[in-house]
Amino acid sequence: MKPNYRFGSKVAGAFLLISSIVVGGLFGLEKKIQVISESAEVRLNPDPASPLVGILPKGSYLTLNYSGKLKNLWYYVSYKSGTAKIAKSGYIRETDVECLFSSQKVIDISVTEAPENDGLGSIILLDLQGTGIKKEDFLKKEGLPGRQEHDPGKDIFGYRRKIMGYECAVEYVFSSGRLVQTRLEFLPVYLEKSRSIKLYQELKDWLAKAMGRPENDTVRWQNPAFKYDSLSWGHAVSQGHLEYNALWRTPKSEVNLILSGGNNEIFLKLDCTDMIFKNLAEREN
């Protein structure tokens, strides 16, 4: 019987899911870039007319939050500003920086609009009870990626998608020719504060129907200033005051859904990882 890699029907043993583009890269590894222009502007959105977040001098180091390029010209980055080391994030032109992770080759294959998808069921996932789809079968289904990276021991294919009406970046990680991780992030420039918690809950409910109740299901208040004003909870997330997290584990895989924020931005991410691959990567690091 041919395995089903989509969330269209309930296959025996449930399914493995999508993943988030973990900020800083795979399993928390940060990818650094450096300013090579005499000065570089960081903008709130990937647009030269967008509000200015800051101006960085030549030689400044930044953390790459998403390894793809927005509108094929901008990197989404974060950095610490001033003597107080205030965390800031925004978009910087690719021509103003160079990447410092030379082991990785990045290929931008195409620039296309994100196709409409009706939900998570449109994203290829891992089967919890078996191995991931073969790379050649995956490419037949999904077509050429918009971005491709080669690291020692793995290939990463990047796509832009619309999930539940929102722009998303999706990365698929292959090792030994098979899918071992899917990472999904709702791009913060398109995510509404007022809608973010409801969207998180819809994603969590959808996952729970496929996998059962999460092993961990937490709501964490870092600052309770808005705790008793439910209409301000979306704003609380964007300020880093409130975070949601749901985690599922099976012997084969781990699924992690996170809603967090900071600096007036919302981050909604879903990470789905083969456990053997995850444990191996953690040992290597």
For 97, the token pair is: 């920086």
**pLDDT given for residue 247 in this prediction:** 94
**pLDDT given for residue 6 in this prediction:** 38
pLDDT digits (tens, 9 = 90+) for 147-184: 888 877 888 888 888 887 788 888 898 988 888 888 88
Locate the domains of the chain by residue range.
31-99, 105-284
**pLDDT given for residue 228 in this prediction:** 92
pLDDT digits (tens, 9 = 90+) for 194-208: 788 999 999 999 888
Domain 31-99 -> CATH class: mainly beta
pLDDT digits (tens, 9 = 90+) for 1-23: 333 333 333 332 333 333 333 32
User: Cα–Cα distances in Å, from 65 out to 125, 132, 258?
Assistant: 23, 26, 15
* Average pLDDT of the segment spanning 216-241: 92
For 78, the token pair is: 């974060």
The pTM for the full model equals 0.63
Going by pLDDT thresholds of 50, 70 and 90, the confidence category of residue 281 is low
d(CA 154, CA 236): 37
Residue 264 CB coordination number (10 Å)? 13
In 3D space, the residue among 271, 218, 263, 277 whose CA is nearest the CA of residue 42 turns out to be: 263
d(CA 145, CA 102): 21
d(CA 7, CA 154): 25
**pLDDT given for residue 223 in this prediction:** 92
Residues forming a β-bridge with 256:
247, 271
